[in-house]
């Protein structure tokens, strides 16, 4: 049996995670542009079992358009929740692309993915669906939740946990906000995982206090590795209160950003690509903006090693005295 790999792509400001096992492929979110499509073509990937869209924002769904319109890539299933108030051109184009894939490849569209949905199971791993609440999905974005708060795309974001050999490997929470975290904790959901793909690219979590949010989510997940899928040239993420909150959680995790923020190193001449993995390309590579870059972790149940793949990153960032990822 071949290895099962979990990859968080350096895609700039946005999210895209890949899970490969044998001849199966799952794609979770795809930031705008054709970058994910180009990677799949470069890797000669012609079939995607499941394309999962956490929510309707363009930095999570925009790149799915190119994949769905690519007649060389057959997508078996698309999972998403409806968003009746999203009126962006990106969301309209995405719907058109879904219709094209249905006609071209017989793609099935599953418009319900919530806490009551069955786990998405494969031979070698499964994806647990922890949020959003099935009750909130009855009305969706633009409506009022049972707690009286207005629901939006972020509060309805799909939260997934990757499980391999009964071991909790990665929490992939899209852009979950403080209200979602409260729902998960109030419902006594176990969020433990070795890897946390941090929501909002390390930016503000909606209306919640960022420091408190970061501290609470890290206490709940207790990760060994926190990943920020960010862009050097946008928002300067992760923001300081997020880093402070992670430190306050005492989780002791290794922190890594796909691209290096300008705060960590304003000097472009000090940047390098020598430490990057060659398993998948990194979008920041052309300008030497990648920090950890695209990160691939080989799954091995409870013995999954999240430190060795980040070894070159650890050595690279030691030269930057202003780096944010000191814990």
Give Cα 43 to chain centroid, integer Å: 20
**What pLDDT score does 269 carry?**
94
Give Cα 135 to chain centroid, integer Å: 24
Give me the mean pLDDT over the 157-185 stretch.
Answer: 95
Number of Cβ within a 10 Å radius of residue 71 = 9
Give how far Cα 158 sits from Cα of 124, 273, 281, 306, 316, Å. 22, 33, 26, 24, 33
**What pLDDT score does 192 carry?**
97
What is this structure's pTM?
Answer: 0.95
**What pLDDT score does 327 carry?**
53
Task: Determine contact, residues 196/226, Cβ cutoff 8 Å.
Answer: yes
Indicate the SS3 state at residue 171.
strand
**What pLDDT score does 326 carry?**
66
pLDDT in tens, 122-147: 999 999 999 999 999 888 888 888 77
Give me the mean pLDDT over the 20-27 stretch.
Answer: 91
Give me the mean pLDDT over the 301-315 stretch.
Answer: 94
pLDDT in tens, 250-292: 998 999 999 999 999 999 999 999 999 999 999 999 999 999 9
Longest dimension (CA), the chain: 54
Residue 176 is encoded by which pair of tokens? 């979950």
Asked whether the bond before 238 is cis by omega within 30 degrees of 0, the reply is: yes
- CB-based burial label for 268 (10 Å; 0-12, 13-18, 19+): exposed
């Amino acid at each position: 049996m071949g290895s099962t790999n979990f990859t968080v792509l350096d895609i700039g400001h946005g999210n895209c995670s890949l899970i490969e096992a044998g001849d199966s492929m799952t794609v979770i979110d795809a930031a705008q542009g054709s970058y994910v499509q180009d990677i799949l073509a470069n890797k000669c990937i012609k079939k995607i079992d499941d394309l999962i869209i956490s929510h309707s924002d363009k930095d999570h769904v925009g790149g799915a358009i190119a994949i769905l319109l690519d007649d060389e890539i057959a997508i078996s299933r698309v999972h998403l929740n409806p968003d009746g108030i999203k009126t962006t051109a990106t969301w309209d184009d995405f719907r058109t692309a879904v219709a094209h894939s249905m006609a071209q490849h017989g793609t099935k569209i599953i418009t319900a993915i919530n806490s009551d949905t069955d786990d998405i199971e494969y031979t070698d791993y499964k994806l647990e669906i922890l949020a959003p609440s099935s009750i909130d999905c009855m009305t969706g974005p633009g409506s009022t939740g049972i707690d009286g708060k207005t629901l939006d795309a972020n509060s309805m974001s799909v939260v997934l946990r990757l499980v391999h050999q009964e071991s909790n490997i990665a929490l992939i929470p899209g852009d979950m906000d403080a209200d979602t975290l409260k729902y998960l904790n109030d419902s006594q959901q176990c969020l433990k995982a070795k890897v946390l793909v941090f929501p909002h690219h390390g930016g503000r979590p909606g209306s919640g206090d960022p420091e408190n949010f970061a501290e609470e989510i890290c206490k709940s997940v207790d990760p060994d590795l926190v990943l920020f899928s960010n862009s050097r040239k946008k928002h300067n993420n992760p923001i300081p209160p997020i880093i402070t909150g992670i430190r306050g959680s005492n989780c002791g995790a290794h922190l890594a950003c796909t691209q290096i923020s300008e705060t960590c190193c304003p000097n472009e001449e000090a940047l390098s690509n020598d430490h990057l993995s060659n398993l998948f390309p990194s979008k920041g590579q052309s300008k030497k903006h990648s920090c950890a870059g695209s990160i691939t972790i080989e799954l091995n149940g409870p013995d999954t090693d999240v430190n060795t793949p980040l070894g070159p990153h650890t050595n690279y960032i030691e030269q930057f005295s202003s780096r944010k990822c000191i814990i």
